[in-house]
Amino acid sequence: MSSLSENWLIVGLGNPGAEYERTRHNLGFMLIDLLAADAQTQVKRTECRTLIGRAEIEGQLVELVKPQTFMNLSGEAVSCLLQKPERSVEKLIVISDDLALPLGKIRLRTQGSHGGQNGLRSVIYCLKTNEFIRLRIGIAPEHPVTNARNFVLEKFSKSETETVEKVLKNSADAVRTVIKDGVNEAMAEFNGESKMEN
């Protein structure tokens, strides 16, 4: 078990409330729920307007986080959590949906723009840096949509369910690889795999 100074903070972005469960915009929450279930822990303690749970993943102490601020204010919750000395932006992983990536694809990055994702936009603004690990999970439709806001707030269709389950498992493996082997190793393995599938 790691010392307190080495906590990983894994933040899944989403919107709280039953009406948003299993919507495209809530893939971050869905991945946190999967990681928590695999680690046999619960994400229910309240802190900084988040729900948070502790787990051991790949032998390291990890905090799994679901901000309850709604997507556009996610950064306020994340910056509040980072005020504690046992947490750092160097060991922060932010998980979000991405409208520019096809459904079933993922991308790990160590820095970059928000790409129009309002939760990432808020995190970058509140932390005053874009240098943190982020895992983006694709939700792009096969055909152009006229209203992106409505699209991201829709639930996944039955035909998409199998792909969603697969990409969540792949994303969980990517997070574990970051923790176990480092982000560069994880990017080489999972970003490369996504490119080969294109």
Q: Residue 195's pLDDT is what?
A: 39
94, pLDDT greater than 90: yes
The total number of structural domains that make up the chain: 1
- Nearest C-alpha neighbor of 132 from the set 86, 78, 174, 84: 78
CA–CA dist 53, 42 (Å, integer): 6
| Confidence band, pLDDT 50/70/90 cuts, at residue 6 | low
143 Cβ neighbours under 8 A, 6+ residues apart: none
CA–CA dist 44, 89 (Å, integer): 22
50-57, strands of its sheet edge to edge: 45-47, 50-57, 60-67, 8-12, 92-102, 133-140, 106-109
CA–CA dist 190, 185 (Å, integer): 9
Are 135 and 93 spatial neighbours (Cβ–Cβ below 8 Å)? yes
92 Cβ neighbours under 8 A, 6+ residues apart: 8, 9, 11, 78, 82, 132, 133
Higher confidence at residue 198 or residue 26?
26
pLDDT tens profile 154-188: 999 999 999 999 999 999 999 999 999 999 999 99
Q: Residue 144's pLDDT is what?
A: 81
Mean pLDDT of 13-29: 96
Residues that are catalytic: 25
29, pLDDT greater than 50: yes
| Confidence band, pLDDT 50/70/90 cuts, at residue 71 | very high
135, pLDDT greater than 70: yes
69 Cβ neighbours under 8 A, 6+ residues apart: 49, 50, 76, 77
Give the CATH number for residue 27.
3.40.50.1470
User: In the predicted model, what is the mean pLDDT of the chain?
Assistant: 92
Q: Residue 142's pLDDT is what?
A: 81
Are 23 and 152 spatial neighbours (Cβ–Cβ below 8 Å)? yes
| Confidence band, pLDDT 50/70/90 cuts, at residue 58 | very high
Question: Which residue range forms the structural domain that includes residue 110?
Answer: 4-197
Mean pLDDT of 141-146: 82
